[in-house]
Amino acid sequence: MLAGKRFLVVEDEALVALDVTSSLEEAGVVLIGPVGSTAEALALIERTTFDAALLDANLLGQPVSEIAAALTRKRVPFAFVTGYGREGLPEAFARAALLPKPFSQEQLLGVASGLVQ
């Protein structure tokens, strides 16, 4: 189901980004990123097309509501990846899909598949 799908990965922690990207690549996903800043993410959202995104809920200590809003405007499904639970999400996106840290490969692929069904 994931093979050939294009995913944007927005994650500022190198080890988490490596874990996410390697698991998605094994599933046949075409990766965009990973990127670790709001500016990089917004630039990619404006100039690139993709099927879904995985978005760290906190980039370098900054909220990611601007990125979530840009994804929503382009109608790109996304899930937040966070260790803080729903209370750490931007208020306007409190009901968005969520992948809690730490996560298993099975959980990651389940959430990713749910975004592109």
| Residue 28, domain CATH | 3.40.50.2300
Which of the residue ranges 8-17, 82-91, 106-115 would you say has the lowest mean pLDDT? 82-91
Question: For the chain, how are helix, strand and coil distributed in percent, rounded to 5?
Answer: 40, 25, 35
Residue 1 belongs to a domain: no
CA quadruple 63, 65, 70, 72: dihedral, nearest 10: 140
Instruction: Output the CA–CA distances (angstroms, integers) from residue 117 to 36, 63, 110, in the order listed.
Output: 26, 28, 11
H or E stretch at 99: strand 97-100
Q: What is the pTM of this model?
A: 0.94
By CB atoms closer than 10 A (0-12, 13-18, 19+), residue 9 is buried
The pLDDT of residue 60 is 87
Residue 63 belongs to a domain: yes
Instruction: Give residue 20's domain range.
Output: 6-104
Residue 113 belongs to a domain: no
Across the range 40-56, mean pLDDT stands at 97
Residue 76 belongs to a domain: yes
For the chain, what is the domain count?
Answer: 1
Residue 114 belongs to a domain: no
Residue 109 belongs to a domain: no
The pLDDT of residue 16 is 94
Residue 23 belongs to a domain: yes
Residue 47 belongs to a domain: yes
H or E stretch at 63: strand 62-63
Among all chains, which residue has been given the structure tokens 């900054």?
Answer: 62
